[in-house]
């Protein structure tokens, strides 16, 4: 039996549940989202353990700025995830229900296009690489800083970082599914010739516009903290890379094996690529919206209907925005990378005398 898209949705929903993001799952047979009492109980335990793990890590490593800041940023992501999981409105579930409904009734049978498929495969690959890295290689990196109860430290790190990784992937999946909807609708709008068919497509497009606005509001806080975490990891690992390359005879380098140096450099590169892939998809979101406006401008039929929808289109944000202040796009990637480099250099200047010893 072929592995279809809805089975993939089911696996992804359980991956999110295991990391405490929400207390509902996708039932493949009924093709609907179902809330289950035992999952709520599991989420309660998961969130309680996460808070305890976070408190312990911050308390134990409060004198290590690199690790402490990392966990403070993860605390922001965790707080946002817990808030979304237990809010009464259940905005996240409503968005996913509508996305599943549109996929089931309007988009099934349509291909996503080579660009979107490639982005999906690339992001999935890098998420898998990140998962392997934090579970099999990062414990060795953490051993340098561990004081007591090393196994407990690693378990705490796994619990917290898995939630962060799941939140990144969940947001990417929702954004990708929205882009898929825009892509399919643009294809149909460009060949539509009947007024009734055009009206239906514009109504579906209007639903996707509302969903994209709701998506921005649901993920706005976690999105800001996720960008901050990427920026901080670039600073922390960039600091170590500069020391490795610029001060090869320092005491810092003497403590690192060649395998550890390679791990630090590869981690820096992989985190930068992960950030680029996420904002690259957000840029595709912007391009699809621009393509819609171009299709509507070139349309010579049903001008009144098209004009009304064009006005509605202008009322919705053209970009993926966080807190109505940060545009999540490719420019943000380069801004974060340059700022990370600047702060890394400032950090190195402050520690230069100590590092030379």
Q: Does residue 164 lie in a domain region?
A: yes
C-alpha to C-alpha distances, 10 to 41, 116, 225, nearest whole angstrom: 20, 21, 27
Q: Does residue 288 lie in a domain region?
A: yes
pLDDT at 20 over 70: yes
Q: Does residue 220 lie in a domain region?
A: yes
Q: Does residue 178 lie in a domain region?
A: yes
Three-state secondary structure call for residue 261: helix
The helix/strand count (H/E) of the chain reads as 12, 4
Residue 39, C-beta contacts closer than 8 angstroms, at least 6 positions apart: 17, 23, 24, 25
Residue 7, C-beta contacts closer than 8 angstroms, at least 6 positions apart: 28
Average pLDDT over residues 40-51: 92
Question: Among candidates 96, 346, 70, 49, which has minimal Cα distance to 226?
Answer: 70
Q: Does residue 172 lie in a domain region?
A: yes
Q: Does residue 334 lie in a domain region?
A: yes
Any long-range contacts for 105-112 (C-beta under 8 Å, 24+ apart)?
106/181, 106/184, 106/204, 107/180, 107/181, 107/184, 108/5, 110/184, 110/187, 112/180, 112/183, 112/184
* Residue keyed to tokens 């998961």: 46
Is the distance from CB of 68 to CB of 74 less than 8 angstroms?
no
pLDDT at 58 over 90: no
- For residue 66 the two structure tokens come to 């690199």
pLDDT at 270 over 70: yes
- pLDDT, residue 235, reads 84
d(CA 33, CA 28): 9
pLDDT at 313 over 80: no
pLDDT at 145 over 50: yes
Q: Does residue 64 lie in a domain region?
A: no
Structurally, the chain folds into a number of domains equal to: 1
d(CA 9, CA 25): 9
β strands within the chain, DSSP E: 24-27, 32-35, 321-322, 326-327
* Residue keyed to tokens 């996707």: 208
* Residue keyed to tokens 């060649």: 258
pLDDT grade for 214, boundaries at 50, 70 and 90: confident
pLDDT grade for 352, boundaries at 50, 70 and 90: low
- pLDDT, residue 1, reads 29
Phi-psi region of 113 (alpha: psi -120 to 50; beta: other; left: phi over 0): left
d(CA 138, CA 34): 35
What is the chain's mean pLDDT, rounded? Answer: 80
C-alpha to C-alpha distances, 29 to 17, 100, 129, 160, 187, nearest whole angstrom: 18, 13, 31, 32, 30
- pLDDT, residue 303, reads 62
Residue 32 pairs in a beta bridge with 27
**16-25, 67-76, 315-324: least confidently modelled range:** 315-324
Structural domain including 206 reads 106-356
d(CA 271, CA 185): 33
Phi-psi region of 90 (alpha: psi -120 to 50; beta: other; left: phi over 0): left
Is the distance from CB of 189 to CB of 295 less than 8 angstroms?
yes
Select, from the ranges 49-53, 297-301, 319-323, the one with the highest average predicted confidence (pLDDT).
Answer: 49-53
d(CA 302, CA 198): 9
Is the distance from CB of 15 to CB of 159 less than 8 angstroms?
no
Q: Does residue 13 lie in a domain region?
A: no
């Amino acid at each position: 039996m072929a592995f279809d898209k809805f089975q993939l949705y089911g696996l992804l929903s359980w991956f999110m549940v295991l990391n405490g993001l929400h207390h509902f799952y996708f039932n493949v047979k009924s093709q609907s989202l179902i809330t289950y009492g035992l999952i709520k109980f599991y989420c309660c335990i998961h969130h309680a353990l996460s808070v305890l793990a976070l408190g312990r890590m911050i308390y134990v490593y409060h004198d290590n700025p690199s690790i402490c800041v990392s966990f403070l940023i993860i605390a922001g992501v965790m707080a946002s995830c817990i808030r979304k999981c237990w809010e009464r409105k259940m905005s996240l579930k409503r968005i996913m229900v509508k996305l599943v409904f549109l996929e089931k009734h309007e988009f099934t049978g349509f291909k996503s296009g080579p660009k979107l498929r490639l982005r999906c495969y690339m992001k999935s690959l890098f998420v898998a690489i990140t998962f392997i890295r934090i579970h099999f290689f990062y414990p060795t990196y953490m051993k340098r800083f561990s004081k007591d109860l090393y196994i407990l430290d690693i378990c705490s790190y796994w619990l917290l970082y898995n939630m962060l990784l799941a939140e990144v992937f969940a947001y990417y999946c929702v954004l990708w599914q929205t882009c898929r909807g825009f892509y399919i609708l643009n294809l149909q709008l460009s060949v539509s010739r009947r007024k009734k068919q055009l009206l239906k497509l514009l109504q579906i497009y209007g639903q996707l516009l509302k969903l994209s606005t709701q998506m921005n509001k649901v993920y706005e806080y976690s999105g800001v903290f996720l960008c901050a975490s990427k920026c901080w990891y670039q600073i922390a690992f960039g600091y170590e890379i500069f020391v490795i390359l610029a001060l090869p005879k320092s005491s810092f380098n003497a403590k690192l094996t060649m395998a550890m140096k390679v791990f630090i450099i590869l981690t820096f590169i992989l985190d930068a690529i992960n950030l680029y892939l996420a904002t690259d998809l957000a840029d595709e979101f912007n391009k699809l919206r621009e393509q819609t406006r171009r299709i509507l401008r070139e349309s010579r039929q049903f001008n009144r209907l098209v004009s009304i929808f064009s006005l509605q289109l202008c009322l919705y944000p053209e970009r993926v925005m966080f807190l109505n202040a940060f545009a999540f796009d490719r420019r943000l990637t380069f801004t974060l990378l340059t700022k990370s480099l600047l702060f890394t250099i400032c950090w190195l200047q402050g520690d230069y005398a100590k590092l030379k010893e």
